[in-house]
Amino acid sequence: MIVLKFGGTSVGSVENFRKVARIVQDCQEDKIIVLSAMSGVTNTLVSISELLRASKTKEALELINGLNQKYLVVAKDLLESDEGFYKAQIVLKKQHQVLLSIVEESFTIQNEKIVMAQGELVSTNLFQLYMEEIELESVLLSALDFMYIDKFGEPKSAVIKDRIGKVLANYSVNTFITQGFICRNEQNEIDNLNRGGSDYSASLIGAAVEANQIQIWTDIDGMHNNDPRFVDHTFSVKEMSFDEAAELAYFGAKILHPQSIIPAQESNIPVLLKNTFKPESIGTLIHNKAKVQKIRAIAAKDNITAIKIKSYRMLMAYGFIKKIFEVFEDHKTAIDMITTSEVAVSLTIDNTSKLKEIINELQAFGNIEVDSDLSIICIAGDLAQNKKGVTSAIFNGLKDIPIRMISYGGSNYNLSFLVKSIDKIAVLNILNEGLFKRLEIEVLQA
């Protein structure tokens, strides 16, 4: 069994639905297709919820009716047979009514979750009807029958495994379709795995059915070795380890939801990143057996703020860092990078919504300096500390770039450093020259 997950753009139009069906048709194995909502739909559903929360009924109704119109146009175009279009109209009418009845009721969190779930419910229904029309046998499964989360919002893996196993045993077809993102919670109510959660669904389903592979189909050729927006001649990385992928996921390598790697990694299921619009490209395989390679990829993250806390009280004292961390914890602000000296700590954050409060409280510990408009540069690869020459290969070329912080040795797969954002593009290009020239030639020749 393999799991194929298609993101919002992959099911974003009639033409794309057809592309997805072709990919599914070409896949000979038993499979479960996991779909996101059509692109833009979940955002519209969020807007509808916000309007309802603000009691702006008229505006919410406009969006709801607009969405319904959009779906009808898609369905009419996608489904050429009268029967197919008729069935789609039934689905769309039902969905429209769910939304309309929520407008009538008072706004609740539960109603919001029901609104949010509608995108995936529609995309999977339309796709299944299209499969029927082109005579590809498939069964539509409701993720609400097997995807369960606990009271902390964490997936209940054992329950998922048990339920999906029972559901699948009812059928003898080899193609199943289901929704990403949506699930049921402790109270058996409709819930979701948070924005972007369809990758997570795919990974959880893959683990539950002990899939041979989980394929994540998006609109890019897998993970690139560097940021193609700023660097010429980047190439997609053929393979990488789960650890490397996890290091890169935070750095805007948006193609994979960071959490989504965990179930696949724990169950040792390879994850293949593919491009729906270029199915012939080999994509990126994330697996435990990836051949060791010194430098795998470079990524950057902008809008980073660094905070330095300098205090002579820190010298030889214990418990100092704990107190500093508690300030960030109290303000629910994640720390990304950290470096320390004997008398100072520097750390970075990307969420500055509580920066003022944090600085106020940190002032009790020492002198505070704040720098903004910084970027973290992350280099992922086999960077184990027992290897020689790793850091010199990276820093040799950067002699003219001021570096604000360096973090190395935290894991065997990552070296990160902080630069001013205005230097980012130069840094990415210099590193590309120094670290990838030879690899690029190999890839071009392959």
Contact predicate 298/434, CB 8 Å: no
| DSSP per position, 62-130 | HHHHHHHHHHHHHHHHH--SHHHHHHHHHHHHHHHHHHHHHHHSPP-HHHHHHHHHHHHHHHHHHHHHH
Whichever of 175 and 198 has its CB closer to ligand ASP, that residue is: 198
Instruction: Work out how close the CB of 91 gets to ligand ASP at its nearest, in angstroms, rounded to a whole number.
Output: 18
- Segment contacting ligand ASP by CB under 6 A, of 89-97, 102-110, 192-200, 415-423: 192-200
Distance CA 252, CA 378 (A): 11
CB under 5 to 8 A by kind: which of ligand ASP, Mg ion, none does 37 bind?
ligand ASP
Count of residues that interact with ligand ASP, criterion CB under 6 A = 12
Whichever of 119 and 366 has its CB closer to Mg ion, that residue is: 119
Instruction: Work out how close the CB of 219 gets to ligand ASP at its nearest, in angstroms, rounded to a whole number.
Output: 12
Among 84, 196, 263, 366, binds ligand ASP (CB under 6 A): 196
Vertex 201, ends 199 and 202: CA angle to 5°? 65
Contact predicate 144/188, CB 8 Å: no
Whichever of 34 and 272 has its CB closer to ligand ASP, that residue is: 34
Instruction: Find the DSSP H helices in 170-318.
Output: 198-208, 242-249, 261-266
And the tokens for 93? Answer: 């009418």
Whichever of 37 and 306 has its CB closer to Mg ion, that residue is: 37
Strands 295-310 and 344-349: antiparallel
Contact predicate 19/10, CB 8 Å: yes
Contact predicate 409/340, CB 8 Å: no
Contact predicate 377/416, CB 8 Å: yes
CA dihedral in degrees (103, 104, 109, 110; nearest 10)?
-110
Among 12, 119, 155, 258, binds ligand ASP (CB under 6 A): 119
Is residue 180 at the binding interface for ligand ASP, with CB under 6 A as the rule? yes
Whichever of 196 and 258 has its CB closer to ligand ASP, that residue is: 196
And the tokens for 193? Answer: 């795995």
Site string for Mg ion, 82-111 (x = CB under 5 A): ------------------------------
Instruction: Work out how close the CB of 36 gets to Mg ion at its nearest, in angstroms, rounded to a whole number.
Output: 5
Restricting to residues 198-257, name those near Mg ion by CB under 5 A. Answer: none
CB under 5 to 8 A by kind: which of ligand ASP, Mg ion, none does 283 bind?
none
Whichever of 259 and 416 has its CB closer to Mg ion, that residue is: 259
In this structure, the number of other CB atoms found within 10 A of the CB of residue 318 comes to: 7
Site string for Mg ion, 1-40 (x = CB under 5 A): ------x---------------------------------
- Segment contacting ligand ASP by CB under 6 A, of 20-28, 34-42, 94-102, 381-389: 34-42
Is residue 198 at the binding interface for ligand ASP, with CB under 6 A as the rule? yes
Whichever of 39 and 375 has its CB closer to Mg ion, that residue is: 39
Is residue 195 at the binding interface for ligand ASP, with CB under 6 A as the rule? yes
Is residue 366 at the binding interface for Mg ion, with CB under 5 A as the rule? no
List 348's β-bridge partners, or say none: 306
Question: Please, what sign has the CA dihedral across residues 150, 116, 38, 96?
Answer: positive
Is residue 197 at the binding interface for Mg ion, with CB under 5 A as the rule? no
Q: Phi-psi category of 298—alpha, beta or left, where left has phi over 0 and alpha has psi -120 to 50?
A: beta
Positions that interact with Mg ion (CB under 5 A): 7
Positions that interact with ligand ASP (CB under 6 A): 7-8, 36-37, 42, 119, 180-181, 195-198
